[in-house]
Structure 1
Amino acid sequence: MSPDLALSTYRCRDIPQAAVHAVACGASWIDTATNYHHGRSQTQLQPVLAANPDLRVSTKVGFFTPDIATAARDAGVVTPAEAASGHCLTHRYVAWQSGRNAAELGRTPDVVFVHNPERATRPRDAIAAAFTALEVEARAGRIGGYGVATWTGFEGAFTVADLLDIASRCGGPDHHLAAVQLPVSLVMLKPLAQALDGTGPLAEATAAGLNTFASAPLHGGELPAMVTDQLAQLIDSDASPAEAALRVTASTPGVNHILLGSGRAQHWEAAHRVLALPPLPDKTLHEVIDVLSA
């Protein structure tokens, strides 16, 4: 089954317009964060979310803007050192920010991701503190569930098994750990290679019934310029470099949602066409890995 399209508001210049294009092309999910678009992304999504009640939304806790740091200090939920760091996953801060997220979105978030916990000095302890706070929020019905959004965390800081163990300790057998988010692209190939072998975070998350989100499929828009003619021909001779790169991510076993951060209608239409195609054969994906590893 092909993954769904989802909007990432990271680096979106016009979030409301991007959301309109995403919805028009069948996006089922919008992903945002407290610190995106100078801290204004969540409030900018309110009209689209109100107009599309079936659209699901995920947000994050961890990073914050200077304005949020000031408000958190005034509320007594971060120390001066924590405020200066720009990233915090303590129980008190996560609980406070979770409430702000819902107010800014104008609705209950379906998932709240713990954002890049690998930045913490002791990542697993930081995850436990955040999960404990988010379990309280989930049991009170103030969030649908929680997860971890990471860039390099699965490179040694923690595993999906670790996350499941922490969630079980924080929330018992009926914990609300629901999702993981990680980069999957022609630049970040390891999750693809692992998934083809039935190992790694995507395979482990799928086996545990967790929702999976592939972030940065075009590596911040840099990938199309990096795709050679040889590589594009190998992937799909009829595709543009961007479409070829996106098709590899869409063909990665275990990916449920692909996060696309574009405000242009033509990009969403092209992505919609790519995701309607059948997944690339495993043989082709292995050849892509071999070419890029040479």
Structure 2
Amino acid sequence: MSGVLAAGTHRCDNVNAAVSAAVAAGVKWVDTAPNYARGMAEAPLRVVLDRHPTVGVSTKVGFVPVSDRRAAIRAGVLCGEQSRRGHCLSRPYIAWQVDLSHARLGRAPDLVFVHNPENGVSTRDEVLRSLTSAFEEMEAAADAGLIHGYGVATWTGLSSGLFTVSDLVSMAQRVGGWRHHFHALQTPVSLVHLGPVAETLSGSGPLHQARETGIRVFTSAPLGGGALLEMMTPELVRFIDPSATRAQAALRVVLSAPGVSHVLLSASTSAHWADALGAAAREPLPLEHLRRVVDVLGT
């Protein structure tokens, strides 16, 4: 496969149990965020990460969990307006959140994503200014050994044209030089978000640009939070891969997309992980077949 499966924690009710099942199945990367699981996603991971030190972990900065707001205000890193918005990318808040994530995870995160920088902004100039400031703080954190690298996790920033992969790489080079620590993107790719797949097959778009510049791409919501499984008719499954289950057919399309390095999946049981890893173990779908899938389903 072009990509490999990683454990996401966005929709996990029991983070420890879900991630333990993923790691037991052979998953080597876990993605989380301070605001996941009602603000309780990071701390339960420490036990799993302590037992499995070779498993990579990524977290995020940006959204302010309700459980952390009073502490952030008391620390002087969050003002009233930012608290009401529930999102903050100021340098003081990022530094505070990185320290907190480091303590909760029990180690320096391998990646910290700037989480949805498009939140609350309306212009390209505004989001690029915010990202420049965030990148400056991320480079400082990396230089101090608090994180190993950083990236940008976005839902609509790339698809809306607010910024491009080239923008982000150029910004990282300006801020951190040629040895910058900007290493990854996170963005939705699925059967209902096929635009990036169509673009990369034509040699354009974020997946292609990331591949050309050595940026890793973590795709989110490959099963649409489970909703996609209801859309996977027997005819669609047979069209993608007659030997696949519904989940495998949907995952195979994302796993096969050129430029994808990790596909984040929130699965809670060993059976679900066995099914998903069955898709990841197969050869990528041929590019011509991938093009037919995009043509039939549209973008």
- In structure 1, what residue type is equivalent to 2:141? E
Distance 1:139 1:13 in 2: 35
Contact 1:61/1:113 (8 A) holds in 2: yes
Which of these residues, 132, 136, 140, is aligned with residue 136 of structure 1?
Answer: 140
Of the three residues 264, 273, 286, the one matched with 2:278 is 273
Instruction: Find the counterpart in structure 2 of residue 149 from structure 1.
Output: 153
Q: Distance in 2 between matches of 1:274 and 1:157?
A: 34
2:98 aligned partner:
98
Partner of 2:70: 70
Query: TM-score, length-normalised on structure 1?
Result: 0.97
Give, in angstroms, the shift of residue 120 of structure 1: 3.8
Give the CA RMSD over aligned residues: 1.2
Counterpart of 1:213 (choices 207, 215, 218) is 218
State the distance in 1 between where 2:226 and 2:144 align.
Answer: 39
TM-score (norm 2): 0.96
1:268 Cα deviation after fit: 0.3
Kindly indicate whether residue 129 of structure 2 is the aligned counterpart of residue 125 of structure 1: yes
Paired letter, 1:214: T
Taking the aligned partners of 1:290 and 1:113, their CA distance within structure 2 comes to 32
In 2, Cα distance between the equivalents of 1:91 and 1:84?
A: 18
Count of matched residue positions in the alignment of Structure 1 and Structure 2: 294
Q: Letter of the aligned partner of 1:131 in structure 2? A: F
SS at match of 1:43: coil
Q: Do residues 37 (structure 1) and 37 (structure 2) align?
A: yes
Question: Which of 179, 183, 197 matches 1:174?
Answer: 179
2:2 and 2:274 map into 1 onto residues whose CA distance is 16
1:249 corresponds to which residue? 254
Q: How far does residue 107 in structure 1 lie from its aligned partner after superposition?
A: 0.6
Q: Which segments of 5 or more consecutive residues in structure 1 lack a partner in the other structure?
A: none
Q: Contact conserved, 2:117 with 2:154, CA < 8 A, in 1?
A: yes
CA contact 2:200–2:258 (8 Å) conserved in 1:
yes
1:189 maps onto 2:191 in alignment: no
Deviation of 1:28 (Å): 1.2
Q: CA deviation at 1:168?
A: 1.5
% identical aligned pairs: 48
* AA in 1 matched with 2:86: G
Matched, 1:291 2:296: yes
Q: Give the residue type in structure 1 aligned to 2:80.
A: P
CA shift at 1:154, angstroms? 0.5
Are the counterparts in 1 of residues 5 and 265 from structure 2 also a CA contact under 8 Å? yes
Q: How far, CA to CA, are the matches of 1:126 and 1:197 in structure 2?
A: 31
- Deviation at 1:229? 2.3
Q: Hey, what's the Cα distance between the residues in 2 that align with 1:3 and 1:286?
A: 17
2:48 is the counterpart of 1:48: yes
2:235 pairs with one of 212, 230, 239: 230
- Superposition deviation, residue 228 in structure 1: 2.3
The question of whether the paired residues in 1 share the 8 Å contact of 2:221 and 2:265 is answered with yes
Which runs of at least 4 in structure 1 moved beyond 3 Å after TM superposition?
none
Query: In structure 2, do the counterparts of structure 1 residues 120 and 128 end up closer, same or farther at CA, with 3 Å as the change threshold?
Result: farther
Preserved CA contact (<8 Å) 2:77 2:96: yes
Partner residue of 2:19? 19
Letter in 2 for 1:209: G
**SS of equivalent residue, structure 2 residue 268:** coil
Partners of 2:68 and 2:180 lie apart in 1 by: 29
**How many Å separate the matches in 1 of 2:45 and 2:60?**
14
